[in-house]
Amino acid sequence: MKLILAILSNEDSSTASRALTEKKFQVTKLNTTGGFLRAGNTTLMIGCEDEDVQEAIELIKESSRKRSELIPSSAGYDMGRYMSFPIEVQVGGATIFVLDVEQFLKI
Amino acid sequence: MKLILAILSNEDSSTASRALTEKKFQVTKLNTTGGFLRAGNTTLMIGCEDEDVQEAIELIKESSRKRSELIPSSAGYDMGRYMSFPIEVQVGGATIFVLDVEQFLKI
Amino acid sequence: MKLILAILSNEDSSTASRALTEKKFQVTKLNTTGGFLRAGNTTLMIGCEDEDVQEAIELIKESSRKRSELIPSSAGYDMGRYMSFPIEVQVGGATIFVLDVEQFLKI
Ligand code: NI
Ligand code: NI
Ligand code: NI
């Protein structure tokens, strides 16, 4: 038995949580802040059999792929008018720890 | 030294937390959502000596026994009147992970 | 790779978090309540290389040194007047668990 701790952005953690639950993984969300990924992040806690660790990691990877998103945040003054320029930000990514579980009980 | 992570319903976690604290176990509550037990759940984190793990597990078990409760939620329309039927739901249960601790410090 | 879980008072956890981040440690804060340190506490989760564990522990120690603080809470009635006496309380302290990490991924 292993315990997977995965730190993801809030947005990606919902996607990952859904994908994992669909494949019958049992997921617990820990409310976390700061740290690995600056803004709002979530730590997913997944207990699973040793042979299922790789599948869980794949599902987390797919849910948190690094990608660019355009956000409308930069603004400038040009030719007498204010203009807004979308800027590209990197989102996604995950930090994953796999721990060994000595004893596991479901009661 | 071991670290016990126990996921319980919010209600049972308070009972377990009290029972554990009375027996001098040191308990930390992590605010968690979803997962193992659908509705509001809590993860208790308990650090203890190897020889005390079994006692802690027993206390958690006693606090989270699976049991039925009647809740007044189902409603039907019968003979011209609305009627409310209590329904039986299963509550309780816990998911417990015991991890080995390599180094423990209390400063 | 190791995973350090450190339970500190909310106040000290901010100091520790800053100190750790400055030294390039990656810190995630878990919102926790009760337990080891009665009042509001925080659990810091730090993943780091085996050879950096000691440095992380030192930074946590320095941020949570046990110390006395005077708080103006005790009041008494003396010579016909109410008087407030500052009382000394012990603050600080930390509980630290170091766990072994079987697999670590940053994606
Ligand atoms: Ni195993
Ligand atoms: Ni031990
Ligand atoms: Ni290692």
**What digits encode the pLDDT tens for the residues C28-52?**
998 787 654 456 788 999 999 999 9
3-state helix, strand, coil in chain B (%, to 5): 25, 55, 20
Q: Is there a domain that residue C85 lies in?
A: yes
- Pairwise CA distance, residues A43 & A58, whole Å: 16
Phi, psi values for residue B9, rounded to 5°: -65, 155
Hey, is the C-beta of B19 within 8 angstroms of any chain A C-beta?
no
- 3-class SS string, A35-71: CCCCCCEEEEEEEECHHHHHHHHHHHHHHCCCEEEEE
Hey, is the C-beta of A90 within 8 angstroms of any chain C C-beta?
no
Q: Phi-psi category of A14—alpha, beta or left, where left has phi over 0 and alpha has psi -120 to 50?
A: alpha
Q: Which of C28, C30, C100 sits opposite A36 (nearest CB)?
A: C28
Q: Is there a domain that residue B106 lies in?
A: no
Q: What is the pLDDT of residue B32?
A: 80
Q: What is the pLDDT of residue C70?
A: 82
CA of A102 to the centre of ligand 1 (A): 7
Full domain range(s) for residue B32:
2-100
Q: What is the pLDDT of residue B104?
A: 97
Q: What is the pLDDT of residue C63?
A: 95
Using CA coordinates, name the residue in chain B closest to A103.
Answer: B98
Task: Supply A75's token pair.
Answer: 């603004």
Q: Phi-psi category of C17—alpha, beta or left, where left has phi over 0 and alpha has psi -120 to 50?
A: alpha
Q: Is there a domain that residue B107 lies in?
A: no
Q: What is the pLDDT of residue A36?
A: 46
Average pLDDT, chain B: 87
Q: What is the pLDDT of residue A37?
A: 45
Element (H, E) at B99: strand B94-100
Least confident of B46-50, C59-63, C87-91: C87-91
Q: Name the more confident of B66 and C36.
A: B66
- Predicted complex ipTM: 0.84
Q: Is there a domain that residue B49 lies in?
A: yes
Q: Is there a domain that residue A83 lies in?
A: no
Strands C2-9 and B26-33: unpaired
- pLDDT (tens digit per residue) in C57-82: 999 999 998 888 887 766 666 677 77
Residue C73 sits in a domain whose CATH number is 3.30.70.120
Q: Number of structural domains, chain A? A: 1
Asked whether the predicted pLDDT for residue B106 surpasses 90, the reply is yes
How many Cβ atoms from other residues are within 10 Å of residue A69's Cβ? 12
Strands A26-33 and B26-33: antiparallel
Tell me how close the Cα of B41 comes to any Cα of chain A, in angstroms.
Answer: 9
DSSP category for residue B50: G
Q: Which residues are CB-neighbours of A81 under 8 A, at least 6 positions away?
A: none
pLDDT along chain A (107 residues), means of 10: 95 93 93 64 94 98 90 68 77 94 96
Q: Is there a domain that residue C34 lies in?
A: yes
Asked whether the predicted pLDDT for residue C94 surpasses 70, the reply is yes
Asked whether the predicted pLDDT for residue B36 surpasses 50, the reply is no
Q: What is the pLDDT of residue A74?
A: 61
